[in-house]
A and B are shown apart, each in its own frame.
Chain A
């Protein structure tokens, strides 16, 4: 395996101060006092406000747009439709472009045809947001309705895009071994069709942007981007035909990301376009209805699965036909979500023969993209449910069927035989059986399951297990720049983003561990494209792994320089010096020391010795083309009232291994937050559409998010057994481990509680209505 550590194999962290301590988060003080700067908190003088007119039809031709009356309304400055956008281009794919997807890309405004309810049709600019929204009703658009397709398995009815023969955007296969042979040898075959419902990240803060053209600097400034600011600057430059350096993207504080926030959406073009055109600042804040119908959806997939086994439960092979409901357009994620599903479907198990055919199909729904553990929440849920069904058919214990098929520690590194994002999937390290044992032990699964099952009442209790592997630390690089100024103040800058996960704290801890200063004395800057020339961003649980490693190496470089200058000043050899408590001192005479500030002063061009390059300013780009894989196991306990069919998750246990943790308490927060989001998708959250393609869950009254009363007790345990070997700080990403297994564990728990009817469980979210159907004896089992 190629190591990303290159020649500097700093496997030992010399100064552990900072790393591994649950220090209080550095960003919290401003948030607690209401002093954060979220996008809608920012005002510029003379600012105009935008509103987006969205299609009320799921599929229609636009025959006419009349804006004359609307333009006369109070406060209206201008209205833009597709025809007004000069040399407009479609929004390109960010991840893994496939040429054949070009015909399905979205333009910032609809060109003569709308493809989902919420498709942007016009942009209104007015003096206030109230006025801009007033005018939405005064634009007269004539629509000619077209047949609507909301079923991803109906691939031919009325192609959504002119140049396409049907609605299949992409059709590909991932495979290894010989599945036909495996099924020929099978002693038992288990079949399951499993559906994962449409839901999404739904951050509590909606999207928002401010754009302004600064004529004195000749620069277009955009506030509000996050996640991948450098990439988005490139996209905007390409679409506006400007040079990249004439655009600055600035990330404010961000009220949650979860994969959906920060991608390049139509508004990310429209608002800067309007600001350039009007030479005035323009602000747009998405409302919640817009957020639910315009921001990326995710998760809707159907798995037709067949598993070949021996009678003892050994898996011989798996065949999957995966239909992915892409919505009306291909957006920035291309088809990465179902590709990830197909790549990670084998999970932590040895599956010698595997074939997954993916069909990503366009429908008249909001376009889909990534959401925390994209593709994996779905494939893990499906696979884990399939395993339990097989166990039930073969009368094997759910723990046993997993244990006997898990990849063993001695198999590491393990080549899965699939690929994603152009990389072969290779699990780098992990003790999968141990994680399963631990979660079984922690939850007292063996003891409690039988006791709870025997309990004869209206309340049926069930336990469900899921094991998972999580891809983290996606490459190819991330950078960090560390500067120490003349006063000794330390600043870290990076291209990674802070979407609420606490990046400022994590990076400060890593820098402080090398420089032996207190983390709160380090300022971390991020999300501004002018800070550092290159950046990738925060997604795929990569920020701590990639930016953290870059900070570590940059800090090592600056440390070396500090020692060099100190050695010169103190008239000794570098080898005689160490850094301790932020001072540079002699190993043998610790009272002989210089403060960081003193050395910083000696580093300035004025004072620096002539044979040493002045300055304390280092940038490091950490490059790695291999993901590092976290893993774990989840158990959920549910209670089902068989009279009302109410499903109450009672307890969740998650055991996970992410290698080293920089701040264990923050990691725990990631696990818990992810778990509760995952429970939302398993029990409550769903974007529903009626047959005409109307979104019927456009508010928090219809799209239900978990609150304190729907949230069970969560217990998690971090194993520290498989440090990453791919980066110097030995970390794997933590952001998606809480959510990865919970859907499957919940579904299995419901099946367990339902006893004989449990084999019907084949869908998420599981609502009381579905439980009721499963309990009905003569029910149509295909649901």
Chain B
């Protein structure tokens, strides 16, 4: 947990999942630690802390970023969306539904990062080819599934979203 604010702290204001927060935060605190520990929104995971695995992916002003290699102060006056923003109540987002139906997850630790990366992909490219899917997801590591079911899930999600 981020403790006592020192001289190295700044007051920041940001929106996370549509809610505005104002917090004093040490300048060295990463965005993911801030969201998880300070705001208690823990759906975003940390797999490597050095920008390789993609588990910590969040949407930053609508762009996917790795929140482990960004500082919380960089999010001042910006808007962040995490996996918690995807479903409404019990109603899963079509991408989540497609992952569920296609067994696109096992331990679930990589899943939030994949879901947001796919959301970004499908917003730019509603009908991606297999090669495009592989290329776009190559920055997200899954250690459990072997990716086949994730790729199937993305194709299914694309169909669901085109139908919407």
Contacts and interface: CB of A to CB of B under 8 A. Distances in A.
Contacts of B50: 288, 699-701
Given A204-B107, A253-B108, A677-B143, A669 B48 contact: no
Interface residues of A, number: 65
B103 A47 contact: no
A389 interface: no
B106 A673 contact: yes
A202 B48 contact: no
Interface string A695-737: 0000111000101110101100000000000000000000000
A716 to B, nearest CB: 9
Interface string B133-164: 11101111111111111110000000000000
B146 A674 contact: yes
A500 B107 contact: yes
Contacts of A47: 1
Given A33-B86, A256-B109, A672-B149, A500 B36 contact: no
A288 to B, nearest CB: 5
Interface string B81-95: 011101100001000
A77 to B, nearest CB: 12
Nearest to A42: B42
A159 interface: no
A501 to B, nearest CB: 6
Interface string A640-679: 0000000000000000000000000110110111111100
Contact of B46 (A29, A40, A665): A40
A33 B144 contact: no
A672 B148 contact: yes
B19 interface: no
A32 B149 contact: no
Nearest to B50: A699
B48 A32 contact: no
B99 A41 contact: no
B135 A32 contact: no
Nearest to A709: B138
B28 interface: yes
Given A256-B109, A672-B149, A128 B45 contact: no
A699 B52 contact: yes
Given A28-B105, A699-B50, A255 B84 contact: no
B111 interface: yes
Contact of B55 (A25, A204, A254, A666): A204
Contacts of A708: 133-135, 137-138, 140, 147, 150-151
Interface string A492-507: 0000000111100000
A40 to B, nearest CB: 7
B143 A669 contact: no
B144 A673 contact: yes
Interface in A501-543: 501-502
A603 B95 CA distance: 44
B70 to A, nearest CB: 16
A33 B96 CA distance: 8
A552 B52 CA distance: 43
B14 interface: no
A29 B84 CA distance: 12
A707 B138 contact: yes
A254 B106 CA distance: 10
Contacts of B86: 33
Nearest to A28: B100
A708 B53 CA distance: 12
A673 B42 contact: no
A95 to B, nearest CB: 24
Interface in A28-81: 28-36, 38, 40-41, 43, 47, 49, 74-75
Contacts of A705: 53, 141, 143
Contacts of B111: 31-32
A258 B101 CA distance: 24
Contacts of B143: 201-204, 256, 258, 673, 677, 705
A205 B107 contact: yes
A204 B47 contact: yes
A27 interface: yes
B64 interface: no
A675 B105 contact: no
Contacts of A453: none
A172 interface: no
A423 interface: no
B146 A669 contact: yes
A204 B147 contact: no
Given A202-B143, A705-B141, A738-B146, A254 B107 contact: yes
Nearest to A131: B3
A238 interface: no
Contacts of B112: 34
A127 interface: yes
A205 B2 CA distance: 21
A665 B44 CA distance: 27
Contacts of B55: 204
Interface in B34-52: 36-37, 40-50, 52
B115 interface: yes
B100 A29 contact: yes
A632 B106 CA distance: 23
B73 interface: no
Given A32-B96, A672-B146, A673-B145, A128 B108 contact: no
Nearest to A202: B143
Interface string A185-222: 00000000000000001111110000000000000000
Contacts of B52: 699-701
A707 B139 contact: yes
A700 B6 CA distance: 33
Contacts of A714: 146, 148
Contacts of A128: 1-3
B31 interface: no
Contact of A676 (B101, B133, B146): B146
Interface in B1-41: 1-4, 6, 26, 28-29, 36-37, 40-41
Contacts of A131: 3
Contacts of B84: 33-34
Contacts of A709: 134-135, 138
Given A203-B107, A673-B145, A677-B143, A700 B92 contact: no
A686 B110 CA distance: 22
Interface in A547-601: none
Contacts of B82: 34
The 10 closest A-B pairs by CB, nearest first: A34-B43, A500-B107, A31-B108, A255-B109, A672-B146, A676-B146, A700-B52, A34-B83, A41-B42, A708-B134
Given A204-B143, A700-B52, 9 more contacts: A34-B112, A43-B40, A128-B1, A206-B47, A669-B144, A676-B146, A707-B141, A708-B140, A709-B134
24 contacts: A22-B103, A24-B103, A28-B100, A32-B111, A33-B43, A33-B92, A34-B82, A40-B46, A41-B42, A127-B3, A128-B2, A129-B1, A201-B143, A204-B141, A204-B144, A500-B106, A500-B109, A669-B144, A672-B145, A700-B53, A705-B53, A707-B138, A708-B138, A713-B148
Interface of B: 1-4, 6, 26, 28-29, 36-37, 40-50, 52-53, 55, 82-84, 86-87, 92, 96, 99-101, 103, 105-112, 115, 133-135, 137-151
